[in-house]
Amino acid sequence: MKILLLNGTIVGKKTRTLLDEIEKYIQQLPTEHTTKVVALENYELQFVDGRPAEEYNDDMRRLIHEIEEADAYVIATPVFQGSIPGTLKNVFDAVSPLAMRYKPVSIVANGGTLQHHLVVENQLKPILNYFRCMVTPNYVYTHTNHFSTQGELIDEDVRNRLKEMTVVFDQYMQMSRELEPDK
């Protein structure tokens, strides 16, 4: 399967650190998968305003295509001001509602306090439910204390939760192979 590892921000490195860790665990799964890290800072993003996809610039069209062609996703997001970043929401607004249907998604998020995990429950999951994604139940939320001052992941419990999430994600990928979405 083609797994897209989406870094939902254009700043910082903690979410990328989490995606790098997950990518290692995906490579250890018994089934072979192709992974691609999509870092939004590498795209010239445009505000989505309802126009057809072909009217956006080359980078936006390429980003939309990469997302829509993936078979599964790991979405990493920081929490800014008690919310997901506008760049990530903008990307969701660009994608067809049918494109992610019945595709597995795992979520990792990072915030400054423990309470910001509710952003995953109250904002990100409803968006993914709108797309009818198969969202794994065991997302991983991290906060500042899980990282060194250089942005390296230093918490073994978080590593274990990421490994467990990857195993569940693999099961969801197996389930999704048997579903035929109505398109």
Amino acid at 126: P
d(Cα 41, Cα 89) in Å, to the nearest integer?
14
| 179 pLDDT tier (thresholds 50, 70, 90) | confident
Per-residue pLDDT at 181: 57
Residue 63 has pLDDT above 90, yes or no: yes
Question: For residue 164, what are the CA distances in angstroms to 5, 122, 151?
Answer: 17, 23, 22
Sign of CA dihedral 143, 108, 37, 154: positive
How confident is the model over 125-136, as pLDDT tens digits? Answer: 999 999 999 999
**Residue closest to 81 by CA, chosen among 47, 116, 52:** 116
Helices assigned H by DSSP within 95-135:
118-119, 125-130
How confident is the model over 66-113, as pLDDT tens digits? Answer: 999 999 999 999 999 889 999 999 999 999 989 999 999 999 999 988
- Strand-pair partners of 36: 4
| 114 pLDDT tier (thresholds 50, 70, 90) | confident
The rounded Cα 104 to chain-centroid distance in angstroms is 10
How confident is the model over 133-163, as pLDDT tens digits? Answer: 999 999 999 999 999 999 999 999 999 999 9
Question: For residue 11, what are the CA distances in angstroms to 28, 31, 97, 111?
Answer: 29, 32, 27, 13
Q: What integer is the mean pLDDT of 103-124?
A: 93
8 A C-beta contact, residue 42 and residue 175: no
Residue 53 has pLDDT above 80, yes or no: yes
